[in-house]
Amino acid sequence: MSEQEKSGTHYAVHWQEEDYYYPPAEFVGQANMTDPKVFERFSLDNFPECFKEMADLLDWDQYWHTTLDTSDAPCWKWFVGGKLNASYNCVDRHLAKFKNKTAIHFVPEPENEPIMHMTYQELYRRVNETAAVLRDFCGLKAGDRVTLHLPMTPELPITMLACARLGVIHSQVFAGFSGQACGERIWDSESRVLITMDGYYRNGKLLDHKSIGDTAVDVAAKLGQQVDKVLVWQRYPGKYSSSASMIEGRDYFMNDLLKTYARTYVKPVSMPAEGILFLMYTSGSTGRPKGVQHSIGGYLSYVAYMSKVIQDIHPEDVYWCMADIGWITGHSFIVYGPLAIAASTVIYEGVPTYPDAGRVWRIAEELDVNIFHTSPTAIRQLRKAGPDEPAKYNYKFKHMTTVGEPIEPEVWKWYYNVVGKGKAAIVDTWWQTETGGFLCSTVPALAPMKPGSAGPGVPGIHPVIFDDEGNEIPAGSGKAGNICIRNPWPGLMQTIWKDRDRYVSTYFGKYNKNPESKDWRDWPYMAGDAAVMAADGYVRILGRVDDVINVAGHRLGTKEIESAALTVEEVAEAAVIAAKDEIKGTVPDLYVSLKPGYEPSQELVAKISGAVATVVGKIARPNKVYIVPDMPKTRSGKIMRRILASISNRTDVGDVTSLSNPEVVEHIRKQVQG
Ligand code: WT7
């Protein structure tokens, strides 16, 4: 058995190639990027100077002298010598032309609450006032870290931009994450300020959110990180919507503090290009989440360019990305990219199918949205809840994006024909938290779409597929391997926060042959996905090769779920696998064995499932919990997750005779499959 098979990362390629779909002429006629020479400009012969084309989308206080500095390989430094401010680039510089244009359309979940249209002028004022609170009341300065645990309301981008204005590093934790998860991230980032909100709407309920922040502060304190101030935004300014008490001398309402700073102007701090814009924690193959560290100049150049060239955003478009800003998609493609190029960006607070399957299309119609961006999971959900709903509404998309997971050609075709009404160009964008922006996608006016394929590398990205020995797998061979990027690019993370070794070993360890090398050619970036490249260079992503599960386009670490299960007294061993799911792509199935003397019961199943939801967050709640007599193990004692995955997914378990306990496999199979 090969290493790949042992770890369950071995993929069979069994689909057929799909036909091309060509972008509508109407789209091509108005597109931002119609010059096929863009790929020549971004060829490896022109590396790295070609990336000037991206940086030139920004306003620099001081222009850089070195495009790429490789002296600390593979921690690349982009646009060295340059100085800029991200908040200035996303807000101030648009005032001259777009002061009265909407920057943010905020759609509350309750349909009877009015939509708020916030102009660039108003965004500017609110970012300044918020920055004043952070600087003058909290004493925060460039380089400090602040944890945000904010839901999908305008206060989230306002707070992010206020941090960016000061050079303060924000670390936004997805609001759906538990107090435990948030507390660990406060601790790892060493934040002494937490910014949260009292409550927000989800599925018709006003959730109590502030209390989760209280838990987070306690968890951080136990780990050794003291939080001195908790700033609380109010969902309804002036009214408190949480049952948690406000702790004197620690907790403050933003609404009260802001009164002191009304109309204050805060000068944007001119930051080095290689300063840190934010941390975004993501799951990896060990229990400890990694703080992916993104730069100011490189990241912002990259997402601005991608928003313009791949998302095709013009200032006059209405652009709606339905992701949560708590994930990288929202950071790059709701906030930083679109605002850097003066878009009108939509923020929707709630659940796409609330109160019914027509909600999304009503919002699109009401706001005249013409660029729409979402995940395969949301598309599957909307299709299931109301396959004929889009036809009932009078909206018209010119462009649509799918992101986060592989999309089945069937689902893609519904998106194209029914949601897009056959009139929109689609891009399937493959990328990661670590990569800042897109890696593979078609340039929508320049290349046809192929259902189920992300497409070739975007301008500036040169993908390659390697086998386990580091040999290139030629395009069109039909063989899968590890997808890597040959070259550095400005959107790539700088490192893992406080853990350079983990950065180097996780992403470069397998294919770098000389750790001393300062030549970027020696450092292909390994994404951790299995993929296959067709003869036309289009890439199909097959899934993760590491211990990461992708649920509804969100990344979860198996180790995090397993250690949460192990917090339950009765549990001896736990193993999580990705089970196929009609809506969410994959979902976690959890297998556990009990300590001697305990018996399986329904109550215990509920307790284990509840523990995972409390420790990690509701999104990690297992689809199924199976209490099994023993885990299938190798002779060296390694749990064979691959076998459990085959059982959950009803595929062939293969040869199990070399296990230390082969008889348990059939027992588990009967238990699960009946
Ligand atoms: C993982 C990254 C990219 C932002 C959202 C998720 C999977 C992402 C695609 C796609 C197939 C995709 C990969 C990747 N993935 N986009 N278009 N087709 N798979 O960010 O949480 O960092 O997860 O999501 O497996 O490695 P993330």
397-445 per-position pLDDT tens digit: 999 999 999 898 999 999 999 999 999 999 999 999 999 999 999 999 9
Answer yes or no: is the C-beta of 282 below 6 A from any ligand 1 atom.
yes
The residue to which tokens 């770098």 are assigned: 512
Residue 58 is predicted with a pLDDT of 98
pLDDT tens digits, residue range 20-39?
999 999 999 999 999 999 99
Separation of alpha carbons 213 and 207, rounded Å: 13
- In contact, 233 and 150? CB cutoff 8 Å: yes
Nearest to residue 271, comparing CAs of 251, 297, 289? 297
Tell how far the Cα of 430 is from the centroid of ligand 1, in angstroms. Answer: 6
The H or E element containing residue 426 is strand 425-429
Residues 6+ apart with CB under 8 A from 452: 15, 18, 406, 407, 408, 409, 412, 428, 540
Q: Nearest C-alpha to atom 6 of ligand 1 is from which residue?
A: 404
Best mutation site among 283, 401, 402, 430 for ligand 1, i.e. most ligand atoms within 8 A of its Cβ?
430
Neighbours of 43 (CB within 10 A): 12
pLDDT band at residue 10 using 50, 70 and 90 as cut-offs? very low
| CB 389 near ligand 1, within 6 Å | no
DSSP 383: H
Q: Please choose, from the candidates 373, 365, 371, the residue with its C-alpha nearest in 3D space to the C-alpha of residue 322.
A: 373
5 has a pLDDT exceeding 70: no
**What is the mean pLDDT of the segment spanning 275-288?**
87
For a pLDDT cut of 90, what percent of the chain falls above it?
87
Contact 544 CB / ligand 1 (< 6 Å): yes
Q: Is the peptide bond before 24 cis (omega within 30 degrees of 0)?
A: no
Residue 364 is given by DSSP the state H
Pocket test for ligand 1, best of 449, 529, 549, 560 (most atoms within 8 A of CB): 529
Residues 6+ apart with CB under 8 A from 330: 321, 323, 324
Distance (Å, whole) CA 279 – CA 294: 6
Average pLDDT, the chain: 94
Rounded to whole angstroms, how far apart are CA atoms 670 and 6? 23
Query: Which whole-number Å values give the CA distances from 129 to 126, 239, 254, in the listed order?
Result: 5, 20, 10
Residue 529 Cβ contacting ligand 1 at under 6 Å:
yes
Instruction: Please compute the mean of the pLDDT values over residues 354-375 and round it to a whole number.
Output: 97
Q: Tally Cβ neighbours within 10 Å of residue 337.
A: 31
Question: How far is the C-alpha of 22 from the C-alpha of 444, rounded, in Å?
Answer: 9
Structure tokens at 599: 């018996």
Cα 583 to the center of its chain, rounded Å: 19
Amino acid letter for position 264: T
The protein residue whose alpha carbon is closest to atom 21 in ligand 1 is: 555
Q: What is the pLDDT of residue 15?
A: 59
* CA pair distance 458, 325, nearest whole angstrom: 23
Token code pair at residue 452: 């189920």
The pairing of strands 251-253 and 116-119 is: unpaired
Query: Residue 305 has which token pair?
Result: 């360019």
Expressed in angstroms and rounded, the spacing between residue 167 Cα and the centre of ligand 1 is 28
The type of residue at 429 is: T
Cα gap 276→620, rounded to integer Å: 29
User: Contact 58/496 with Cβ under 8 angstroms?
Assistant: no
Whether residue 286 has pLDDT greater than 60: yes
pLDDT of residue 214: 98
Q: Is residue 432 in contact with ligand 1, taking CB distance under 6 Å?
A: yes
- C-alpha 350 – ligand 1 centre gap (Å): 22
Cβ atoms of 523 and 501 within 8 Å: the answer is no
Is 333 touching ligand 1 by the criterion CB < 6 Å? no
Amino acid found at 437: G
- Greatest C-alpha distance within the chain: 73
| Residue 406 CB less than 6 A away from ligand 1 | yes
Residue type, 600: P
Predicted TM-score of the model (pTM):
0.92
Cα distance between residue 632 and residue 595, in whole Å: 16
> Is the CB of 403 inside a 6 Å radius of any atom of ligand 1?
yes
Residues 6+ apart with CB under 8 A from 64: 55, 79, 80, 81, 82, 273, 297
- Judge if the beta carbon of residue 324 lies within 6 A of ligand 1: no
What is the DSSP code (8-state) at residue 342? Answer: T
pLDDT at 373: 98
3-state SS, residue 360: helix
- Long-range contacts of range 80-83, CB-CB < 8 Å, 24 or more positions apart? 80/273, 80/274, 81/273, 82/55, 82/272, 82/273, 82/297, 83/270, 83/271, 83/272, 83/273
CA-nearest residue for atom 20, ligand 1, is 432
Mean pLDDT of the region 525-530: 96
Which pLDDT belongs to residue 14?
Answer: 53
Which two three-digit tokens encode residue 76?
Answer: 């690349």
Tokens 């042959």 correspond to 513
**Residue 568 Cα, ligand 1 centroid: separation in angstroms?**
31
Q: Which atom of ligand 1 is nearest to the CA of 329?
A: 4
Beta bridge partners of 371: 319, 399
Residue nearest ligand 1's atom 16 by CA: 404
How many residues make up the chain in this entry?
Answer: 674
SS3 304: helix
Q: How far is the CA of 190 from the centre of ligand 1 (A)?
A: 28
Task: Quote the ligand 1 centre to 403 CA distance (angstroms).
Answer: 7
Range name among 18-22, 70-74, 188-192, 408-412 with the lowest pLDDT average: 408-412
